[in-house]
Structure 1
Amino acid sequence: MTVLDHDTFLTCMAEASLAPTVHNTQPARWGLSPDGTITLHCAPGAALPVADPSNHDLILSCGTALEGMVIALAGEGHAAQVTPLGTQITEPLARITLGGYAEPDPLASAVSARLTYRRPFAPADPGQFQALTTWAATDPDIHLITTRSRITEIAAQNDALSHRLLQNPAFRKELLSWTRLSKCHPDWSRNGLNADALGLPRWQAAFMGAFFKVFSPLDRLGLATGFTAEKDDTETAAAIAFLAVPKDLPALDAGRRYYRATLKLAASGFASWPMSVLVDDPDSEAAFLTEFRLTDHRLIAALRLGPIPKSPPERARLPITETAITPDLHP
């Protein structure tokens, strides 16, 4: 059995850490056994009990990192065989066994280019738009909406559902716990959603914490909606994409599919901006599945898509040494 050296393991973990995760919680934890086995665990401290009570999105996020690790290993010439282990965050999720030579993954070059961009997009030229429609046409998981009137309707729906969700004090508290509004925050460059990643100007970032605390009285006065609306920014998107997978597909595998779809998107020159509430709300999800004439499927993502007009903010990532676990935690 092939055994990775320590430096190569760290290099692969660093590349896997670039995968997208819910609220940038980065829940994947990696172990390397003396026999060369790599084990994927989930950090329970990254759970979102209000927004994600079933831990589906948490495990899906571990799936994106798992696919990132497989891509990284291929870049080092290692073929990886993945064996699922568990479905709960308290148990190991997957084991990777190395064996044989692998060619680099065709999507490896898109790993550093893939990003979430939470700001107005640049206009897509005809060539870019063609690349976008080609991206969607080659993946049965993807359902693309490009009609401007429909994008406007979805933008309004997203704002309405987001506003309703923010009326839950527990959700606001949880969201704020993963939001870094000042560079003085100790986790600004480590994890969560910092003000730069959220596209917040300095004045808005300084105001946001207080706004969440007084959200309820402002909402009763009808003054909260204007501060949370994203409709104008959403309407700059070239398209909105929905990713649907079979209902019985495990969340870990769904995460692997999601990551590959976003890497293909990045290779086409586009960034994405999630609209998670459209997927998380049961009535919204059911309506979109009906619109796409899908049965026995579930949505795993709704994404605003577009080219970015300027350099993206620096990624916040945990130090790689903090995502490694000791061998004695392996099954």
Structure 2
Amino acid sequence: MQAFQVQAFDRPASLTEIQCPPPGPGEAAVALRACGLNFADLLMMKGSYQDTPAPPFTLGLEAAGVVTDLGAGTQGFAPGDRVAVFGGSGGLAEAGVFDAARLIRIPDAMSFEHAAAMQIAYGTSHLALDHCARLQPGETLLVTGAAGGVGLTAVEIGKLMGATVIAQARGREKLEVAAAAGADHLVDAGEDLRSTVKALGGADVVYDAIGGDVWKAAFRSANPGARLLPVGFAGGDVPQIPANHLLVKNLTVIGFYLGGYMKFRPEAVRRSFETLFAWHGEGRIKPHISHTLPLERAAEGLDLLRSRKSTGKVVITIGSSR
């Protein structure tokens, strides 16, 4: 089968012919139909992501497809089941073998593309804002990188939770995407983020996916007692946290990594996914997919992330659409 693999960290990832192993105990084989791309894929290609496997490995953290076979003793699924899987890797291939505990059934009405696009972006925002930050109706939520994969879902979920949302993104086109997702106030990346947010009353919750100077400005725009979520650093600079400011303003900084929750609180992730899939079925959320490309163009899809030319999600389609 074809798989988009990293053979070595000093070489570009490429399509490679590999053998798909049979599923072992507790595992399921899945014929993959779609895979969502993430900034983490770019880090894994360089070996700088916190959960990077040893080469060779197949990229693709989140995917969707159809169960084809089960290992000995595997329960809860059957061949033919349509499933989503947050496998951490292995999604950019024609098939894969995954721990069945990481599978979740998807509704018949949900496309594989939407199922593949929802897990990391929506799961990160939902767990971070609801479970960790306890965002409340009437509070003000600041989202940086608000047109990106996770940022856009934070805007959407923040509005669903009753917050006033301030969205920061680069350029009119991306700001319009954030506005369509429900943002109440828009801040261009070229504006003074701190003064603009302070003029709007400050932020009660900060959801930052950029890091660096953007994080510094967002941090300084936070109200006393605010909760701050550094969920990524797409700008390249890891956020730094001045503890003296935490003390003076009684701020709480909450580190959040969805992959970590899969290891120590998997039931929380599953509940979140089930909630999100139900919201999707009710028409309350809808993934924004700016680009859909076939597996042979996976490198092009990753370039779209690298150059920040995408909004929302880039999804790779694989084989049949059903």
Q: Fold match, TM over 0.5?
A: no
Relative contact order (C-alpha < 8 Å, sep 6+): which is higher? Answer: 1
Bigger share in helix: 1
TM-score by length of 2: 0.30
**Higher relative strand content:** 2
